[in-house]
Amino acid sequence: MRYVDFIDLDYRPKASDLVCGFHVEPKGISMDEAMGGVAAESSIGTWTELTTVKPYLERLHATVYDIVGNDCRIAYPIELFEPGNMANILSSVAGNVFGLEALGNLRLNDMEFPEELVRSFEGPRYGIDGIRKLLRLKGRPLVGTIIKPKLGLRTEDHAKVAYDAWSGGCDIIKDDENLSSQAFNPFEDRLVSTLEMRDRAEEETGERKVYMVNVTAETEEMLRRAEMVQDQDGRYMMVDILTVGWSALQTLRDRGLELVIHAHRAGHAAFTRSAVHGINMRVIAKVARILGVDQLHVGTAVGKMAETRDEVHENIKALKEPMHGLKKVLPVASGGLHPGHVPDLIEIFGTDFVIQAGGGIHGHPDGSVAGAMALRQAVDARLGGHSLKEYAQDHKELARALETWS
């Protein structure tokens, strides 16, 4: 089969097909050849006609069935993929095709998974409803922070910063993506000390608190750390899903641990930032959901990260839209946030999300306790129908935050 033979605009995808949406920019060949080439090289075809093709292979080829400008949709027969093997699936549809010389740019913008493939993975253990039940929290966004500075704090100081933020009103404390088990703050010591502070903060505030400790490591070590978190009644673990890899994430979820999986997307922009080449963040969101994360960073549309409001909405949709019975995943907004962003964030996300402010809490001129109080006050103001300026008249912590980050 030639590349153009993989195009059939009369084809209608079967319910069992995996469907991908691509943006294609050819280089030196026609658009039809380029799109057909993507379908061919990601299924049973190659650059030349073969003598080894058997008649039974024809039904296994991918088909370009819809073309609009530079965008196309390709249907893949489910028989091409091994159930329960995300590495195999992505090696096919998001593999060598990105390196084809005849393509100037290629972006995987969407994936629609058939039910049989989705159900071959665990999916989220908790999802939004399970997380709210665990935290005994309804009706408002979860308020969290990242320990700052992200690296360099000794264990006792890290735990103290966490305690201060919990005391001020944070529900969640999170390690940053590059804090692992460095000599200045070893994993085991940090876990034990910070959970002790969590218990103290819970007793004093009467609120359920959680610590998202970063278990990211080589797979066996990651599993050992995750099991240690469970043994210490840690409730949550955090993992950098792209740098550990999809199979490692799948192994972590399939371990059967009763821990919420908080997914950090460190490194995503290497794939997602270009509008014409790479992989759309909503694809990463869908894959992460299928593999079983419970929370995922999706951008902010405000703050310091690059995604637009439309892109963030698409990422949120990927986590919450119906997907063959999978639980909804809790979106996380993080990156350059402070209390002044709360009205925009609630407008964008609703109330089912996590607001995570790092510098926007620990950079408060009166310290981390006041910073956490200011963020909670901003949430209370917005949900109570008040403007932040109005609410700040009787809440000095919020007033100072607004003055600092006007």
Note the pLDDT tens digit of each residue in 178-192: 999 999 999 999 999
Per-residue confidence (pLDDT) for residue 53, from 0 to 100:
82
Higher pLDDT, 56 or 354: 354
The residue segments making up the domain with residue 203 are: 127-404
Whether residues 89 and 138 share a domain: the answer is no
Dump pLDDT digits (tens) for 83-102: 999 999 999 999 999 999 99
Task: Taking residues 28-32, report their average pLDDT.
Answer: 96
- The pLDDT-based confidence of 303 (bands split at 50, 70, 90) is confident
- Which of 118, 138, 160 corresponds to the end of one domain? 118
The answer to whether residue 228 is domain-embedded is yes
Per-residue confidence (pLDDT) for residue 50, from 0 to 100:
82
Average pLDDT, the chain: 96
- Which residues are annotated as catalytic? 148, 264
Per-residue confidence (pLDDT) for residue 1, from 0 to 100:
78
Whether residues 106 and 56 share a domain: the answer is yes
Whether residues 210 and 255 share a domain: the answer is yes
Question: Which amino acid is located at 168 in the chain?
Answer: G
The answer to whether residue 332 is domain-embedded is yes
The answer to whether residue 149 is domain-embedded is yes
Whether residues 371 and 351 share a domain: the answer is yes
Burial classification of residue 157, based on how many CB atoms lie within 10 Å of its CB (0-12 exposed, 13-18 middle, 19 or more buried): middle
Whether residues 142 and 101 share a domain: the answer is no
Whether residues 300 and 342 share a domain: the answer is yes
- Which of 118, 135, 161 corresponds to the end of one domain? 118
- The pLDDT-based confidence of 406 (bands split at 50, 70, 90) is confident
Task: Taking residues 259-273, report their average pLDDT.
Answer: 96
Number of C-alpha atoms within 13 angstroms, CB side, residue 394?
6
CA angle, residues 178, 184, 188, in degrees to nearest 5: 80
- Which of 96, 118, 140 corresponds to the end of one domain? 118
The answer to whether residue 1 is domain-embedded is no
- The pLDDT-based confidence of 210 (bands split at 50, 70, 90) is very high
Dump pLDDT digits (tens) for 60-91: 999 999 999 999 999 999 999 999 999 999 99
Whether residues 96 and 165 share a domain: the answer is no
Instruction: Please enumerate, as own/partner, the contacts of 334-338 that have beta carbons within 8 Å and a separation of 24 or more.
Output: 334/146, 334/297, 334/300, 334/358, 335/299, 335/300, 335/303, 335/304, 335/305, 336/300, 336/302, 336/303, 336/304, 336/305, 336/360, 337/300, 337/302, 337/303, 338/363, 338/375, 338/401, 338/404, 338/405
Higher pLDDT, 52 or 374: 374
Residue 261 has pLDDT above 90, yes or no: yes
- The pLDDT-based confidence of 305 (bands split at 50, 70, 90) is confident
The answer to whether residue 2 is domain-embedded is no
What CATH number has the domain bearing residue 171? 3.20.20.110
Prediction pTM value: 0.96
Strands in 18-26's sheet, in edge-to-edge order, are 63-68, 71-76, 18-26, 103-112, 278-279
Whether residues 310 and 376 share a domain: the answer is yes
Dump pLDDT digits (tens) for 41-57: 999 998 888 888 888 88
